[in-house]
Copies of this chain bind each other. A is one copy, B any other.
């Protein structure tokens, strides 16, 4: 937790807090007009802009006793960056609206802003604008812009029977980390870190679009749930081959410690923000992608040809 003895947002006031939270921010060349105006202006090189938005809520999507504010900011950037990567685009800019109680230490907002800024910079993107308002809990609402650089977008509606289902990135590590935190288990720091700060394979989205992939999505609700969105939108069936995505040794070890099933983490755990895409069979998979299944005529998701029994994935309003 940041220093609770520092000033609160109400003590410092809106504009000084914004000044402190945005001090030292660097902008890439694509930021044509940065913060400090009513709106920002960002380059959209091919005359189109990809856009996606996600809201993170304290106590629901993050806990400030489990994650540092920087980690929360990085997570918000990762979650949004993965969405435009899933379309095949490169993130170019973020805007962030922050809500918080007046007694929130300024250091919390500085940390969130710093984490978001660092993660954006690593993607080559800028944090170009924002808003700061009073709310009952800490709310981080991020919108990302992306540039397809002339590529065709990967759509959930575009999978066809015969396509190869491929994955870039990891599955189940964030879910394992969350389970470890919930259990108060002190081990497996790499898995806990994967929960606190996901590391989506941003470059794999543009690479898939360049190679000729048709359909894509990021795995944010769980593999089976997100593939279910593609299957429904494309009116196809998708089969996942378990032999191609077995849990790694560290997931198995953590599952053994917690008496849990590592397959549940792999198949239904969200928040790693891996990318899944459907490639025409004649396409050679680009670097970072490996086959995990196939697209068939029909409907629904199967694992090794059978329905999966168990929870389907993340739901925003589950209890």
Contact = CB atoms under 8 A, between A and B. Distances in A.
A47 B57 CA distance: 34
Given A45-B47, A60-B133, A95-B143, A87 B37 contact: yes
Contact of A96 (B40, B53, B82, B156): B53
Contacts of A319: 10, 102
Most chain-B Cβ atoms within 10 A of its Cβ — which of A42, A82, A233?
A42
A102 B141 contact: no
A33 B143 contact: no
A35 to B, nearest CB: 11
A76 to B, nearest CB: 11
A283 B300 CA distance: 63
A56 B132 CA distance: 10
A128 to B, nearest CB: 7
Given A218-B38, A316-B132, A49 B145 contact: yes
A287 B83 CA distance: 42
Nearest to A18: B316
A133 B48 CA distance: 28
A199 interface: no
Contact of A53 (B10, B129, B134): B129
Contacts of A13: 315, 317
Contact of A87 (B39, B141, B233): B39
A57 B99 CA distance: 8
Contact of A131 (B37, B41, B55, B233): B55
Interface in A122-167: 128-137, 139, 141, 143-146, 148, 153, 155-157
A9 interface: yes
A39 to B, nearest CB: 4
Nearest to A275: B38
